[in-house]
Amino acid sequence: MSKPFKNTYENIRILITGHTGFKGSWLTTWLTYLGADVIGYALKPSTEPNMFEKLGLGKKITNIIGDVRDEKHLNKVFTKYQPEIVFHLAAQPLVKQSYEEPKLTYETNVMGTVNLLEAVRTNGNVKSVVNITSDKCYENKEWVYGYRENDPMGGYDPYSSSKGCSELITSAYRNSFFNPDNYGKIHNTVLATVRAGNVIGGGDWSKDRIITDCINALNNNETICIRNPKATRPWQHVLEPLSGYLWLGALMYNHGVEYSGAWNFGPKEEDINTVESMVKKINKFWGTGDYTVEKDNQQHEAELLKLDISKSNYYLNWKPVYAFDDALKITLDWYRNYYITESDMLAQTIEQINNYTKQAEENGLKWTD
């Protein structure tokens, strides 16, 4: 197997904010496996158990506990470590929590983005910044076709709104301070934002996540309780968007402003499913389980949400590798290995990364060349 992402990340200094979270832990694992010099900046893991500690990732990177709301601390990290590529994942990531703590959500997701981009602006070593937002950043009109990168930002709830704000902030900094027309003249930094669907995968124990709720219930022989059974989401395995982020970051690093802007990474049309359909499949693949529907869920959640991934497919030659059923089975395999066989979970995680890369290579995706 050839080295993926044109071997861009070997010995490159990478800063990941939010590295202790679910998606951040997978990204940290993949980048360290690729030979990157990773600096992580995040709060302590918010759950017990959590993937970051179970994989022992704190011993494999420069692990800094910090808050993106702390502008001075964040700027000191940039000054000391001088990262070349930044993946910004630090966020308050939950819709339900955003109703309970809207101020915290905006402080983290909006001003955290401002602080990050200010640190990039005042420390001129950064070549590529990938700001990870959300598919919920769009003004959701519940229409049947996928949102494109040039559709309006919006957001009904504080979380979704804050992610739309993060997109607008990044666009403003791109226009004002990192304008592509001035690349190579007065700056050498490329900014991009990425919007992914609802990611699933092993190692997620976050509150109010459907996979977490299912696994906890199944492991304790309890009935799964779901809030919004008819909600339709672009579910995808966590490695799908991460491969897109890493490929985009490599292209930005090697080719510059040609790859700035916004990018969607989502599943194929046929792999978009309802919450209820997913829970039924989880019970089937696990071999047991039942579910009930919460009757008093009063908080608004979007019913229909899709992403148009034509731009990423055409310009990046990126496309999903796993069908929905495969993504679910691989996710459940991770948890089985954790709870039942008590496997070496770092080895299991790397094995899943290798299997995903091998299948992507068989599918002819350019990032595997």
* Tens of pLDDT, residues 81-118: 999 999 999 999 988 899 999 999 999 999 999 999 99
Residue 342: band (very low, low, confident or very high) from pLDDT cuts 50, 70, 90: confident
- For residue 297, what pLDDT is reported? 58
Q: Which of 249, 230, 234 is nearest to 189 (CA)?
A: 249
Domain of 34, in residue numbers: 5-197+236-267+309-322+343-368
Residue 260 pLDDT > 60, yes or no? yes
Backbone angles phi, psi at 36, to 5 degrees: -75, 155
Higher-scoring residue by pLDDT: 294, 183: 183
For the chain, how are helix, strand and coil distributed in percent, rounded to 5? 45, 15, 35
Q: Which of 67, 162, 187, 176 is nearest to 115 (CA)?
A: 67
The rounded Cα 120 to chain-centroid distance in angstroms is 20
Q: Which of 159, 154, 158, 132 is nearest to 142 (CA)?
A: 154
- This prediction has a pTM of 0.96
- For residue 148, what pLDDT is reported? 96
How does pLDDT run across 263-313, given as a tens digit for each residue? 999 999 888 889 999 999 999 999 999 999 987 655 666 667 889 999 999
Contacts for 309-313: CB closer than 8 Å, 24+ residues apart? 309/146, 309/264, 309/265, 309/266, 310/148, 311/148, 311/149, 311/263, 311/264, 312/244, 312/263, 312/264, 312/265
- For residue 301, what pLDDT is reported? 61
Residue 67: band (very low, low, confident or very high) from pLDDT cuts 50, 70, 90: very high
State the greatest distance between any 2 C-alpha atoms of the chain, in Å, as a whole number: 62
Q: What is the pLDDT of the chain when averaged over all its residues?
A: 94
Q: Which of 301, 265, 275, 250 is nearest to 140 (CA)?
A: 301
Q: Is 189 exposed, middle or buried (0-12, 13-18, 19+ CB in 10 A)?
A: buried
Tokens read off for 310: 């034509």
- What is the mean pLDDT of the segment spanning 168-196? 97
How does pLDDT run across 5-28, given as a tens digit for each residue? 999 999 999 999 999 999 999 999
CATH code of the domain in which 362 resides: 3.40.50.720
Q: What is the DSSP secondary-structure string of 298-323? A: -S---SB--B--HHHHHHH-----S-
The rounded Cα 240 to chain-centroid distance in angstroms is 9
The reply to whether 287 falls in a domain is: no
CA–CA separation, 369 vs 15, rounded Å? 25
3-state secondary structure of 131: strand
- For residue 269, what pLDDT is reported? 87
- For residue 142, what pLDDT is reported? 77
CA–CA separation, 120 vs 106, rounded Å? 20
Q: Which of 296, 285, 161 is nearest to 228 (CA)?
A: 296
Residue type, 153: M
Residue 183 pLDDT > 60, yes or no? yes
The reply to whether 12 falls in a domain is: yes
The reply to whether 207 falls in a domain is: no
Residue 46 near residue 94 (C-beta atoms within 8 A): no
Residue 1 pLDDT > 60, yes or no? no
- What is the mean pLDDT of the segment spanning 189-201? 96
For residue 348, the tally of other CB atoms under 10 A from its CB is: 19
Domains in the chain, number: 1
How does pLDDT run across 326-339, given as a tens digit for each residue? 999 999 999 999 99
The reply to whether 300 falls in a domain is: no
Residue type, 210: I
How does pLDDT run across 115-162, given as a tens digit for each residue? 999 999 999 899 999 999 999 999 988 777 899 999 999 988 999 999
Tally DSSP H helices, then E strands, for the chain.
13, 13
Percent of the chain with pLDDT over 90: 86
Residue appearing with tokens 């559709």: 151
Q: Which residues of 61-84 are buried (b: 16+ CB within 10 A; e: fewer)?
A: bebbebbbbebebbbebbeebebb
Residue 91 near residue 109 (C-beta atoms within 8 A): yes
Residue appearing with tokens 């992610």: 163
| Alpha helices for the chain (secondary structure H) | 22-33, 51-54, 71-81, 95-100, 102-106, 112-122, 158-176, 210-219, 239-255, 275-286, 310-316, 324-339, 345-362
The reply to whether 329 falls in a domain is: no
The reply to whether 215 falls in a domain is: no
- For residue 302, what pLDDT is reported? 61
The reply to whether 192 falls in a domain is: yes
Crossing angle for the helix pair 275-286 and 324-339, to the nearest 10 degrees: 50
- For residue 341, what pLDDT is reported? 85
The reply to whether 216 falls in a domain is: no
CA distances from 231 to 163, 272, 303 (A): 20, 10, 4
